[in-house]
Amino acid sequence: MRRCRAAAALVTLVAVASAIGADRGHAQRATMAPSPDFPGVLASAIDPVIAALWSGFDRPAALGHVEFVGQFWRLGGNPGYDAAIDRVHARLIASGFVDRTTTPSTAAGVLSIDQYPGTSHGWDFSVGTLAIVRPGQPDEVVLSKPTHHIALCINSFPTAPGGIVAPLVDVGRGDKDEDYAGKDLTGAVVLGDADPGTLWRRAIARNAIGVVSTALGAYVSPDLPGAPATARNQWDILQWGSIPYDEPHHGFGFKASPRAAAALRKAPVSVRVTIASTFSNKPVRTLIAEIPGKRAPAERIIVAAHVQEPGANDNASGVATLTEMARALKQGIQAGRIPAPDRTITFLWLEEISGSRRWLQDHPADAKQARYMFSMDMTGEDVRKTGGSFLIERWPDPGAVWERPWDPHSEWGRGNVRADQLKGDLINDLHLAICRRVAAKSDWVVKSNPYEGGSDHTVFGQTGVPAVLNWHFTDRYYHTSFDTPDKTSADEMRNVAVSVATSAWLLASADEPRSLAVAQLISSTGQSRLATEEREGTKLAAADPNTAAAQAREVTILAAWRKWYGEAVRSVSRLIVGPPGDRFSVQIDQLAGPFAAPVKRP
């Protein structure tokens, strides 16, 4: 999805540890309280930028990118991934960016491509078919690339051209030893409900040759009798998966739809498996485009979208949104409708997580000067079809530590964030306010969730760069065969692009008056947050059987929010290009002052 979320913890230097994914029931989510009045100084600066980006974003082109990129199973170094990079490169060149690797230039827009050794082996496939074999009858195909384009698991090895026939052994769940007791798996294909990696490790150890997993996320509901209308047609849904790369065993894995699983479980069967797959082992490419800053070009605002994964929304839409965003911003600046930024704005199309790590490693001087970062993951959902919502996943604040009913996590689940890791910053409330200003132009709904982690914003957070994620969740088609271009929205991509580009431009172009206005916005938003936390927290404490402990907890939470917002207001001093003046520092102290007041026990 938004990302291929990492399950392993990623400890940050200042703020975060990555989330460990969890499928949970859909929680009721309310939008955050309305932002305070938008300061006039900021409005006069960003409204022309919003207008230029709004008219300059090419929605048909964005949908065209989704259609093109979404047809491929994209993994770093494979043909589909490289085709996506090449398409974006060509679009940016046609839009006026100059390739600095072939034409040294100081143009207003430059780009280049990095390469590094990959770890995914460049896996791809053209045939992936699983069929039931019955004596004297034609094969019954239950899974195939034309029908279920992501059914074959990553790292599946090819079979002989005519395929192989093997017995199918049902192990039930398949995640514990007793599921395999008394079953001869030598030369068999194992069918189970556990994830394919779990099945693979247990089955291969018992001499099986492949696996079929029926696992589905909790929010994916098959079209069974009595299922809700929203689940219609999901009898044929499946979620993509992977098995370990295992050259000695040369095995394979499939993900099965509920319909395929039911057919396979009707009676003891044999199956024919036919696979044509390749491992290219080519370098992974990262496309880097930049709009150089005019006053502080070494300082950077980073915007990144990951290319790999097979989905249209995840993340062909992120690729498309970032491409047309970069084009609209570049052309708006070139036409004089948008002032050139003072800091450089850097756009990255990369492999999720590993691509961000590699950029930071290979560009240490640029990485050191990165000021803020925006991750673009699943930015194009048609929310009427997917059941998702646009969310800004915030830089870690106390909401990431203490769960609150009025500020819930997404179904992705909370991350392992500690209170002593938190560091307040302006990025959350400024970006949310700008998104809401863009939302006023349409019926766009903007929400936020506490930090959870697991995409490129986490990697930049490890280095202390304040970063937020722009995404949609919960999506009933997340990581499934139903994540197709018809469920994306050009309007949604435009909304996200205009908001992120405007935020990036302002962060790259803030003078003292604008920065002071940002500080006023953060201070006012912070006081509103404190009022909400105190009011609603008092109700929680009163309803808790252990009132004294609950009241003590509320004191701790309020103190954490005060500290966080005090730091967030003071972080505005880093927003100005160049050193702040004495008067500005005094004003920042005054705006941060209310958050230094001690919290009194109720």
For residue range 384-414, what is the model confidence (pLDDT) as tens digits? 988 889 999 999 999 999 999 999 998 888 8
Same domain for 385 and 300: yes
pLDDT in tens, 308-335: 999 999 999 999 999 999 999 999 999 9
CA neighbor of 246 nearest in space, from 348, 123, 115, 347: 123
Question: Does 586 or 225 have the greater pLDDT score?
Answer: 586
In a domain, 116, yes or no: yes
pLDDT, position 304: 98
Burial per residue of 79-90, b for 16 or more beta-carbon CB atoms within 10 angstroms, e otherwise: bbbbbbbebbbe
> Rounded mean pLDDT of 506-534?
96
**pLDDT band at residue 23 under the 50/70/90 scheme:** very low
Q: What is the DSSP letter of 13?
A: S
Residues 268-291 have a mean pLDDT of 96
* 435 within some domain: yes
494 within a domain of the structure (yes/no):
yes
pLDDT band at 597 (very low <50, low <70, confident <90, very high): low
Residue 483 is given by DSSP the state -
CATH number at residue 415: 3.40.630.10
pLDDT at 48: 97
Instruction: Judge if 419 and 310 occupy the same domain.
Output: yes
Q: Indicate if the pLDDT at residue 592 is higher than 80.
A: yes
Q: What is the average pLDDT value for the chain, to the nearest integer?
A: 90
Burial of 170: CB neighbours in 10 Å, binned 0-12, 13-18, 19+: middle
33 in a structural domain: no
Q: Which whole-number Å values give the CA distances from 368 to 288, 359, 360, 365, in the listed order?
A: 17, 11, 8, 5
Q: Looking at residue 207, what is its pLDDT?
A: 97
How many domains does the chain divide into? 3
Residue 18 lies in a domain: no
pLDDT > 90? residue 261: yes
Whether 320 and 301 share a structural domain: yes
> Can you tell me the mean pLDDT for 584-600?
86
Q: Please determine, for residue 14, whether its predicted confidence score (pLDDT) is greater than 60.
A: no
Q: Which of 231, 259, 279 is the last residue of a domain?
A: 279
pLDDT band at 144 (very low <50, low <70, confident <90, very high): very high
500 and 525 within one domain: no
Structural domain of residue 498, as residue ranges? 40-120+282-507
Please say whether the beta carbons of 280 and 77 come within 8 A. yes
Contact 155, 242 (CB under 8 A): yes
Q: Are residues 426 and 327 in the same domain?
A: yes
pLDDT of 450 > 80? The answer is yes
374's CB contacts (< 8 A; 6+ apart) are: 301, 302, 303, 304, 431, 457, 467, 468, 470, 500, 503, 504
Task: Kindly state whether residues 262 and 313 are assigned to the same domain.
Answer: no
Q: How confident is the model at residue 590 (pLDDT cuts 50, 70, 90)?
A: very high
Predicted TM-score of the model (pTM): 0.92
CA torsion sign for 325, 330, 334, 340 is positive
Of residues 169, 141, 148, the one with CA closest to residue 257: 148
pLDDT digits (tens, 9 = 90+) for 238-250: 999 999 999 999 9
Cβ atoms within 10 Å of 465's Cβ, excluding its own: 26
Q: Is residue 400 part of a domain?
A: yes
Please give the residue that has the higher pLDDT: either 373 or 582. 373
51-80, pLDDT tens digit by residue?
999 999 999 999 999 999 999 999 999 999
Whether 233 and 329 map to the same domain: the answer is no
Same domain, 112 and 127: no
Average pLDDT over residues 247-268: 93
Average of pLDDT values for 258-284? 94
Number of neighbouring beta carbons within 10 Å of residue 66: 29
Same domain, 258 and 375: no
User: What confidence tier does 582 reach under pLDDT thresholds 50, 70, 90?
Assistant: confident
489, 588: one domain = no
- pLDDT-derived band of residue 36, with 50, 70 and 90 as boundaries? low
Domain assignment present for residue 29? The answer is no
554 in any annotated domain: yes
CATH number of 131's domain = 3.50.30.30
Mean pLDDT confidence for 77-90: 98
Percentage above 90 pLDDT, the chain: 81
Q: Which of 507, 530, 559 is the last residue of a domain?
A: 507
Same domain, 104 and 178: no
Q: What's the average model confidence in pLDDT over 528-535?
A: 96
Residue 253 and residue 244: Cα distance in Å, rounded? 10
* Confidence at residue 222, expressed as pLDDT on a 0 to 100 scale: 56
Give me the mean pLDDT over the 291-303 stretch: 97
Among 1-10, 82-91, 287-296, 515-524, the range scoring the smallest mean pLDDT is: 1-10
pLDDT at 17 over 60: no
Q: Which residues contact 73 (CB under 8 A, 6 or more apart)?
A: 80, 124, 125, 149, 150, 310
Rounded CA-CA distance 289/349 in Å is: 9
**Residue 41: band (very low, low, confident or very high) from pLDDT cuts 50, 70, 90:** very high
Tell me which of 507, 533, 556 is where a domain ends: 507
**Between 225 and 319, the higher pLDDT residue:** 319
What three-state secondary structure class fits 93? helix
105 pLDDT band, cuts 50/70/90, is low
- Measured between alpha carbons, how far is 240 from 559 in angstroms, rounded to an integer? 44
Same structural domain, 381 and 251: no
pLDDT band at 24 (very low <50, low <70, confident <90, very high): very low
pLDDT of residue 22: 29
> Do 332 and 56 form a contact (C-beta atoms < 8 A)?
yes
